[in-house]
């Protein structure tokens, strides 16, 4: 494969909408409630053995700078207006004039192991994002996608695109035959844009074939807004950990932060809209305590003594049914599972909804490092527990390659970018899997004690080996 400028395929990020939908929904909410809050983000490589060369880093830097040239096109604006009707007019007006400013907001550095000045020098690299939350929130997905592309463009190059479309088609057909409802979630760790487009062609082919055959499953959409627009498939997404992390850091009150974040979410988008809740930012048990609380109104006021905000949560019930205020758990359509033991999660959610007296059939969306076998297994246990089930499948679709010389697996990077600070305070994540915790360690321990967080072991929780190791793959 030739990556020396003669490749006919696009490189880097080619559209303003080449990102995950939940970055846009969160940006909409941030603009409404936290437009003046400053934040920082930090990059973390959970596969530290995978490093970049100086040449790869230079390419990455150049692609990052190009992000400042991308703007929302008129066609893209019309797509958002007609398809994502939950995005309000003030936000869409904001997007029309919005530009990223990577030269001012992103600090990228390279630390070679043995500095000879050569482009072949290998080393670690660091990405730090800083600025207004409403302006910097869109960097995460393109930075991760570009980092992955840089690695597989310069470091691991023993692979080809051959068979990617057919492979995705076969995966899609197996999932459809099994009755799975599936969305493609693979932008952040894709091999490159062309790979994701090939995968999507395969999935669209499977979707049409499944509909023709009357298969029980469904290809429901993609998190990538650009590909949704290009292929005529619904964009899928609600909220990420970042929303809860940011609200907690801004308020400084972790005991009420989840409730506050949920109140703001409903205040921005309304009841029953974007209604899949992410449970594991500070551990699912802590989340469920907030999820069982009644929804309250957003009113004028000040969130904290040092943060002026026009609208804040109040104690006034948002809505009443038979004289009783509705809870978040009643209004939200379901929850997303993104860390920890899925079987334990299904059991926990069944017990929770039963204890709440909620009879409506809710949905569980699984999104943590899925493959076909895991989807089928989780569907079985969720069906038995009385849930609707859907799956957000990412890396398994968009970074599933083998080395051409050996036929062994070409292992993806496991990389993340997480909110590090908001309003001058540390932002942390304490998931259902210790390997996914992020943020200042002292703050993490303090919040664990404050919330009564209980650490749980999970046999498959090693994030560094989630997709295997190269050395292990070579032995297979």
User: What pLDDT score was predicted for residue 324?
Assistant: 72
Phi, psi angles (nearest 5°) of residue 306: -110, 10
The answer to whether 297 touches 316, Cβ cutoff 8 Å, is yes
Neighbouring residues of 434: CB distance < 8 A, sequence distance ≥ 6: 455, 461
- CA atoms of 446 and 254, how far apart (whole Å): 10
In 3-state terms, what secondary structure has residue 96? helix
Whether this model's pTM surpasses 0.85 = yes
Phi and psi, residue 361, nearest 5°? -75, 115
CB 318 within 8 A of CB 354: no
The rounded percent of the chain whose pLDDT value lies above 70 is: 89
The pLDDT value recorded for residue 320 is: 59
Of 36, 399, 350, nearest to 198 (Cα)? 399
- Binned at pLDDT 50, 70 and 90, residue 257 comes out as very high
Strand segments, DSSP code E, in 382-448 are 388-393, 401-402, 409-410, 415-422, 425-426
Whether the predicted pLDDT of 2 surpasses 50: no
Predicted local confidence at residue 94, as pLDDT: 98
Provide the pLDDT for residue 476.
36
* Separation of alpha carbons 1 and 250, rounded Å: 47
Q: Is residue 14 classed as helix, strand or coil in its secondary structure?
A: coil
Q: Where do we find the tokens 């929130």? A: 137
In DSSP terms, 365 is beta-bridged to: 336, 390
Q: How far apart are CA 19 and CA 22, in angstroms?
A: 9
The pLDDT-based confidence of 474 (bands split at 50, 70, 90) is very low
Dihedral angle sign, alpha carbons of residues 336, 392, 373, 475: negative
pLDDT digits (tens, 9 = 90+) for 211-255: 999 999 999 999 999 999 999 999 999 999 999 999 999 999 999
pLDDT band with cut points at 50, 70 and 90 for residue 305:
very low
Q: What is the DSSP string of 275-338?
A: -EEE--SS-HHHHHHHHTSBPEEEEES-SBTTB--SEEEEEEES-EETTEEPBHHHHS-EEEE-
pLDDT digits (tens, 9 = 90+) for 315-329: 666 665 566 789 999
Mean pLDDT, rounded, for 131-147? 98
Task: Tokens for 141, please give them.
Answer: 């997905």
Residue entry with tokens 């080996």: 465
Residue scoring higher pLDDT (455 or 104): 104
Bridge partner residues of 126 (DSSP): 109
Highest-pLDDT range among 191-195, 307-311, 439-443:
191-195
- Give tens-digit pLDDT for 327-352: 999 999 999 999 999 999 999 999 99
Domains of the chain plus CATH, in order, are 21-159+412-429 (3.20.140.10), 164-231 (no CATH), 241-398 (3.20.140.10)
Average pLDDT, the chain: 91
DSSP 399: S
CB 29 within 8 Å of CB 402: no
> Residue 164: phi, psi to the nearest 5?
-65, -45
Q: What percent of the chain has pLDDT over 90?
A: 84
Q: What is the pLDDT at residue 156?
A: 97
What pLDDT, in 10s, does the model give residues 346-371? 999 999 999 999 999 999 999 999 99
Work out whether strand 38-45 and strand 122-132 pair parallel, antiparallel, or are unpaired. Answer: antiparallel
Q: Is residue 137 over pLDDT 70? A: yes
Q: What is the pLDDT of residue 431?
A: 84
Mean pLDDT of 42-52: 94
Which candidate, 408, 466, 12, places its Cα nearest to that of 196?
A: 12
Q: What is the pLDDT of residue 421?
A: 98
Bridge partners for 111 per DSSP: 124
Give the pLDDT mean for 56-62.
Answer: 98
Q: What string of H, E and C letters represents the secondary structure of 421-435?
A: EECCEECCECCCCHH
- What are the tokens at 185? 């979630």
Whether pLDDT at 168 is above 60: yes
């Amino acid at each position: 494969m030739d990556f020396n400028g003669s490749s006919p395929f696009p490189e880097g990020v080619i559209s303003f909408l080449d990102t995950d939908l939940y970055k846009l929904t969160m940006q909409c909410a941030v603009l409404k409630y936290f437009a003046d809050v400053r934040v920082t983000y930090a990059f973390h490589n959970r596969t530290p053995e995978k490093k970049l060369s100086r040449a790869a880093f230079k390419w990455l830097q150049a692609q990052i700078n190009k992000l400042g040239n991308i703007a929302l096109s008129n066609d893209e604006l019309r797509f958002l207006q007609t398809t994502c009707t939950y995005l309000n007019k003030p936000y869409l007006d904001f997007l029309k004039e919005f530009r990223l400013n990577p030269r001012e907001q992103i600090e990228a550095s390279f630390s070679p192991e043995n500095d000879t000045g050569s482009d072949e020098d290998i080393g670690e690299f660091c990405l730090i994002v800083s600025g207004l939350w409403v302006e910097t929130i869109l960097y995460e997905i393109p930075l991760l996608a570009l980092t992955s592309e840089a690695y597989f463009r310069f470091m691991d190059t023993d692979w080809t695109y051959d068979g990617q479309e057919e492979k995705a088609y076969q995966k899609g057909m197996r999932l459809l035959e099994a009755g799975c409802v599936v969305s493609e979630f693979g932008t952040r760790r894709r091999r490159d844009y062309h790979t994701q487009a090939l995968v999507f062609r395969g999935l669209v082919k499977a979707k049409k074939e499944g509909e023709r055959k009357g298969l029980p499953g469904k290809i429901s959409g993609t998190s990538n807004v650009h590909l949704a627009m290009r292929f005529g498939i619904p964009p899928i997404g609600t909220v990420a950990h970042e929303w809860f992390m940011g609200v907690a850091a801004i308020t400084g009150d972790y005991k009420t932060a989840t409730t506050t974040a949920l109140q703001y979410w409903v205040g921005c988008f309304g009841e029953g809209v974007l209604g899949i809740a992410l449970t594991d930012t500070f551990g699912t048990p802590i989340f469920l305590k907030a999820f069982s609380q009644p929804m309250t109104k957003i009113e004028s006021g000040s969130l904290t003594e040092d943060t002026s905000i026009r609208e804040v949560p109040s104690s006034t019930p948002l809505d009443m049914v038979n004289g009783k205020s509705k809870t978040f758990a009643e209004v939200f359509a379901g929850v997303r599972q993104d860390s920890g033991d899925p079987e334990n999660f299904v059991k926990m959610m069944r017990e929770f909804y039963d204890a709440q007296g909620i009879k409506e059939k809710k949905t569980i969306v699984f999104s943590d490092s899925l493959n076909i076998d895991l989807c089928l297994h989780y569907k079985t246990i969720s069906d038995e527990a009385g849930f609707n089930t859907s799956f957000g499948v990412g890396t398994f679709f968009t970074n599933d390659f083998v080395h051409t010389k050996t036929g062994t697996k070409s292992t993806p990077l496991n990389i993340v970018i997480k909110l590090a600070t908001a309003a001058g305070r540390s932002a942390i994540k304490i998931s259902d899997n210790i390997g996914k915790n992020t943020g200042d360690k002292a703050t993490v321990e303090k919040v664990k004690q404050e919330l009564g967080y209980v650490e749980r072991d999970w046999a498959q929780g090693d994030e560094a080996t989630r997709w295997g190791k190269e050395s292990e793959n070579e032995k297979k």
